[in-house]
Amino acid sequence: MQEAHVYGKYAHFAIGDLYTFLSSCGTTLTVTLISLFLGSILGIVIGLIRCSHNKVVCTVPLVFIEPLRNSPLVVQLFLVYYGLPVVTGTLLDVYSAAILTLSLNTAAFFSVLVHNSIKAVPVAQWEVGYALGHSKASTFIHIIAQQAVRLLIPQAITLYIGQLQCSSILSLISLRDLCRVGQLLTVRTMQPFIVWGIVFFLYYAISFPLARLASYLEKRLNYSY
């Protein structure tokens, strides 16, 4: 009871805390969205290179993809934020390190989705394109790409939700995202259940509609060849 009384001295939320939560939510969303955008662009390029019929060319991207897919994001983050400056001699601010790490990680996973989506389009679709007189590029642009994108979208949204949740790791380098603010407010208010409950709700409020959207699109865009 004594302890509860002491903690009680700290346990006041101010209206400003709500603003802090919303502002940190903005940071989380901004960093995540920028990273997802950059990662997706890079992932498309790498995914297309993976589809090359040249064995050397299609193998090269694995040098980038495999290490990033098979190591923890937090290790990649520390390598970029703490390790890279030692080699380059340039300190990265938390935002740059966070965006760089999350972008590269997203690119690795996204490239696999792009590659798999293109490969999932039946070979017969390519052959009909060729038989009609289309070149490889024309077949891809006019026939395959739209089908691949339809297969890709639901998987991409699922990846985006995962990356949004993984972005909480960025708090470990003191980025003032939702998770970091949760840590700070817990220390100040000593009300972890309420604080983390709010953090939990905010993540859920962002992720759940996306998850429903992915589920809807999966049904809506599914082809039966």
Partner 1 sequence: MAMIEVKNITKSFGSNIVLRDFSVDFEQSGVTVILGPSGTGKSTLLRCINGLEKTDKGEILVDGLSVNNKKNLRQIRLACGMVFQQTVIFPQMNVMENLIMSPIKLLKTPKGEAVDRARFYLKKVGLESKEKSRHNELSGGEQQRIAIARALMMNPKALLLDEVTSALDPEMTREVLNILENLASEGVCMLCVTHEMQFAKDVASRILFLDGGKLICDTGKEDFFYNARKENERINKFLSFIGD
Is residue 223 a contact residue for partner 1 (CB under 8 A)? yes
Q: Which residue type occupies 174?
A: S
Cα distances (Å, whole numbers) of residue 164 to 3, 28, 102, 116, 201:
36, 8, 10, 22, 14
For residue 49, the minimal CB distance to partner 1 (Å) is 22
- State the minimum distance, in angstroms, from the CB of residue 217 to partner 1: 14
Applying CB under 8 A, among 75, 131, 187, 211 the residue interacting with partner 1 is 131
Rounded Cα distance, 99 and 38, in Å:
9
Least distance in angstroms from the C-beta of 186 to partner 1: 50
Q: Are 108 and 43 in contact (CB under 8 A)?
A: yes
What's the rounded Cα separation, in Å, for the pair 2 and 8?
10
- Using CB under 8 A, pick the residue from 20, 23, 138, 186 that binds partner 1: 138
Question: With binding defined as CB under 8 A, does residue 188 bind partner 1?
Answer: no
Q: How many residues bind partner 1 (CB under 8 A)?
A: 20
Is 134 among the residues that bind partner 1 (CB under 8 A)?
yes
Stretch that binds partner 1, among 13-21, 119-127, 191-199, 204-212 (CB under 8 A): 119-127
In angstroms, give the least distance from the CB of 148 to partner 1: 10
Q: Which position among 40, 76, 111, 147 is part of the footprint of partner 1 (CB under 8 A)?
A: 147
90 binds partner 1 (CB under 8 A): no
Interface residue with partner 1, options 36, 98, 143, 156 (CB under 8 A): 143
By beta-carbon proximity to partner 1, the closer residue of 4 and 137 is 137
| Residues 102, 205: Cα–Cα separation, whole Å | 21
Task: Give Cα separations from 41 to 10, 86, 104, 114, 144 (angstroms).
Answer: 46, 28, 11, 11, 18
CA distance 116 to 35: 22
**Binding window for partner 1 (CB under 8 A); candidates: 10-18, 112-120, 165-173, 217-225:** 217-225
Q: How far apart are CA 207 and CA 221, in angstroms?
A: 21
Using the structure block, give the residue that is written with the tokens 């950059």: 38
In the Cβ-directed half-sphere of 77, how many Cα atoms lie within 13 Å?
Answer: 20
Determine if 75 is a binding residue for partner 1 (CB under 8 A): no
Binding site for partner 1 (CB under 8 A): 122, 124-125, 127-128, 130-135, 138, 142-143, 146-147, 150, 223-225
